[in-house]
Amino acid sequence: MTEHIDPQLKALDRLVGTWNVTGGAEGTVTYRWMEGGYFLIQDVDLRQDGMTIKGTEIIGRERAFGAQEPGEDLRSWYFDSHGSTFTYVYEVDGDTLTIWGEEKGSPAYYRGTFDAEGTKVNGAWVYPGGGGYDSDMTRVS
């Protein structure tokens, strides 16, 4: 991370690197800091349901036009090669990572747990009415 230090955002530093993803989607994701340290970028290269999905997610605090201070939540904006646009809220509590669909407390979310070495995250996506899937990550670099 570079100049900016935000304790809530800094908690995501443990994601920096490249991860193999297994479960309902397979492939790799890479997290890296944008210069300045205000945003974490995720590059996505997955296969899911027979489709290749390439995407980019930008994670940080929203600071609307004219605002002096950023918002409270760690929000993200995701864009992919199929035209999908999603927003999420990231939350880290100890070794638990929760990624809420749209807003904190949403019935659609991912919850995973980091292992003691920080090299694996085991979890699952949960969707209202079912249809979620296991999604695990193993650090490769």
What percentage of residues in the chain have a pLDDT greater than 70?
A: 96
**Alpha-carbon distances, residue 70 vs 16, 19, 62, 86 (angstroms):** 22, 29, 5, 20
The confidence score (pLDDT) of residue 140 equals 98
pLDDT in the model for residue 3: 60
What pLDDT shows up at residue 6?
Answer: 81
Regions of the chain short of the pLDDT cut 70: 1-4
pLDDT value of position 137: 98
Measure the CA–CA gap between 133 and 23, rounded to whole angstroms: 7
What pLDDT is attached to residue 30? 98
What pLDDT is attached to residue 4? 63
Asked if 62 contacts 75 with a C-beta cutoff of 8 angstroms, the reply is yes
> Hey, how many other C-beta atoms are within 10 angstroms of the C-beta on 116?
7
Question: Can you give the pLDDT at residue 11?
Answer: 92
Dihedral over Cα of 17, 20, 21, 25: its sign: positive
What was the pLDDT predicted at 16? Answer: 97
Supply the pLDDT for residue 55. 98
3-state helix, strand, coil in the chain (%, to 5): 5, 55, 40
Cα distance between residue 115 and residue 21, in whole Å: 15
Q: Is the dihedral of CA 107, 20, 49, 56 positive or negative?
A: positive
Could you tell me which of 83, 84, 33 has the C-alpha nearest to residue 60?
Answer: 33
